[in-house]
A and B are shown apart, each in its own frame.
Chain A
Amino acid sequence: MSLSEAALQALHMLLEGDPSLWGIIYVSLRVCFFAMLLAAPPAIMLAFLLANFSFPGRRILVVLIQTLQALPTVVIGLILYFLLTRNGPLGAYGLLFTQGGMILGEAVLAFPILAAMTLSALQSADPRVTETARTLGAGSIRAAWTLMMEVRFAIMAAIVTGFARVISEVGCAMMIGGNIAGVTRNITTAIALETSKGEFAQGIALGIVLVAVALVTNAGMALLQGKGGLK
């Protein structure tokens, strides 16, 4: 089958609402959504603590977070596999080869990106933001919230980048999820499998969806920013 034939067949599958195809897309979106929901609050909180407070080990923590961003997904998959496997320390929870396990794995992947990018946004924020908030009578919690609001576009960018990382990665999803059809098979693991079987149409269809998801999230971000990002 030529590439153009495969692409046409891919479009047919998408438009006809092929249930197995859309099931795979649903798994990807669901896992990524909950992974972001799990990772974002503690990552943003940690970034806030690192940006505002000095404590022993702070610098080590910052370097560690920055290093973790570059960690290959398969290495995180490997570590989590050992933790989640039946005989591992977290084996009792039965998370290996489940969507819950995948959510955990993707959250671990997203966490350093979210924390590092939020930290960078907070550190580069105008120091007058907090001073202005405080001199107008805001307490430390409200001043912190105001600062978050002032750098909200950068935090949104961190969330979109984190989402892009987890929806496009294959290593951790394959090792923790196991690519079980209808359960843990997501877009990337399905593309890898279909391609290895020579079934290019489904691979291309899923590839189109992946690009479309990236486009929609980034367009949504641009829309939310409005002209706020404009200097």
Chain B
Amino acid sequence: MSLLEIRGLRKVYGQRLLFEIPGLTLERGQSTLLVGTNGAGKTTLLRILAGLEPAEIAEYVFDGRKIAVREISRLAPTVVYVHQHAYLFHSSVAANIAYGLQGRGLSRAEINACVDAEIEWAGLREVAQVPTQRLSGGEKQRVALARARVLKPKLLLLDEPTANLDVDARRQVGDLIAHMGRGDDCVLVATHDPELIARSWSARYVLENCALADLQM
């Protein structure tokens, strides 16, 4: 059984058709790449998959369960969307990573242990207690990845995760993304960063001319 199966997805802005996708399937454990020119609708597609943006969808089946369009956003944090320029709450790095863990019946010790593991994973030990406004772009992006990863989402949607980062930060973030999907979990990354595109992916798609197609390398 696939993790996500979508049929009849169509997005229009007024009279303008942004894209029409007859079918899209994301298999479990798959890392998927999505490319396309600016304005092709990559961000919009990711936001639709996360339920942050309305669209016409004939069928959205997640984990074998049919989900109504307006209920898609309730899949969070099983489905997590990370913005191109991730928003970090005005608190510490550790508090940001802990955000999604709170209110889930976990003890403080359990939360601390999970946060600690993510801080280690993302290499944020030195800035763990620093207010997020003082972080560099690369550090912010790593916090956003750790904050999403700690929730163990089945589907992680990353929008241009390396945009506006310098070479070193891009490499660090790229390395982290390569290790993001765990077991049956799925990562879908929208990007036009050549370094990221050149990495190994289970599936590659291109969004162009209002349609989704396999990317020929």
Q: Which residues of B contact A227 (CB under 8 A)?
A: 131, 133
Contact in complex: A136, B100 (CB < 8 Å): yes
Contact in complex: B76, A136 (CB < 8 Å): yes
A133 to B151, CA, bound (A): 13
Q: Which residues of A contact B87 (CB under 8 A)?
A: 126, 128-129, 131-132
Residues of B159-186 at the interface with A, using a CB-CB cut-off of 8 Å, are none
A138 to B77, CA, bound (A): 8
Contact in complex: B76, A135 (CB < 8 Å): yes
Interface flags, A138-179, vs B, CB<8A=1, else 0: 110010001001100000000000000000000000000000
Please classify the interface of chain A as helix (H, G, I), strand (E, B), loop, or mixed, using the class held by over half of its residues: helix
Given the contacts A137-B100, A142-B103, A132 and B90 also touching, CB distance less than 8 Å: no
A75 to B168, CA, bound (A): 64
Contact in complex: A136, B151 (CB < 8 Å): yes
Of B80, B90, B131, B133, which contacts A136 at CB under 8 A? Answer: B80
Interface flags, B120-163, vs A, CB<8A=1, else 0: 00000000000101000000000000011001000000000000
Tell me the nearest residue of chain B to A231, going by C-beta.
B133
Determine how close the nearest CB of chain A comes to the CB of B88; give it in whole angstroms: 8
Tell me the nearest residue of chain B to A137, going by C-beta.
B77
A167 to B81, CA, bound (A): 47
Determine how close the nearest CB of chain A comes to the CB of B130; give it in whole angstroms: 12
Of A131, A138, A142, which contacts B52 at CB under 8 A? Answer: A131
Q: Give the size category of B's interface with A.
A: 20 to 34
Interface membership of A134, Cβ < 8 A = yes
Interface membership of B83, Cβ < 8 A = yes
Of B50, B85, B90, which contacts A135 at CB under 8 A? Answer: B50
A229 to B81, CA, bound (A): 28
Q: Which residues of A contact B76 (CB under 8 A)?
A: 134-137
Contact in complex: B151, A150 (CB < 8 Å): no
Tell me the nearest residue of chain B to A228, going by C-beta.
B90
Contact in complex: A136, B99 (CB < 8 Å): yes
Given the contacts A128-B87, A150-B89, A136 and B50 also touching, CB distance less than 8 Å: no
Interface flags, B10-26, vs A, CB<8A=1, else 0: 00000000000000000
Q: Which residues of B contact A136 (CB under 8 A)?
A: 76-77, 80, 99-100, 147-148, 151
Given the contacts A137-B151, A142-B103, A132 and B73 also touching, CB distance less than 8 Å: no
Contact in complex: B89, A134 (CB < 8 Å): no
Determine how close the nearest CB of chain B comes to the CB of A147; give it in whole angstroms: 10
Tell me the nearest residue of chain B to A146, going by C-beta.
B89
Given the contacts A129-B87, A227-B131, A228-B90, A135 and B80 also touching, CB distance less than 8 Å: yes
Q: Which residues of B contact A146 (CB under 8 A)?
A: 89
* Extra inter-chain contacts (11) besides given A128-B85, A136-B147, CB under 8 Å: A128-B83, A129-B89, A131-B81, A131-B83, A132-B86, A132-B87, A134-B73, A135-B73, A136-B76, A136-B100, A149-B89
Pairs A–B under 8 Å by Cβ, sample size 20: A126-B87, A128-B87, A129-B87, A131-B81, A133-B99, A134-B76, A135-B52, A135-B77, A135-B79, A135-B82, A136-B99, A136-B100, A136-B147, A137-B103, A138-B103, A139-B103, A149-B89, A149-B90, A228-B131, A230-B133
Closest 6 CB pairs of A and B: A137-B77, A136-B100, A128-B87, A135-B81, A132-B87, A135-B76
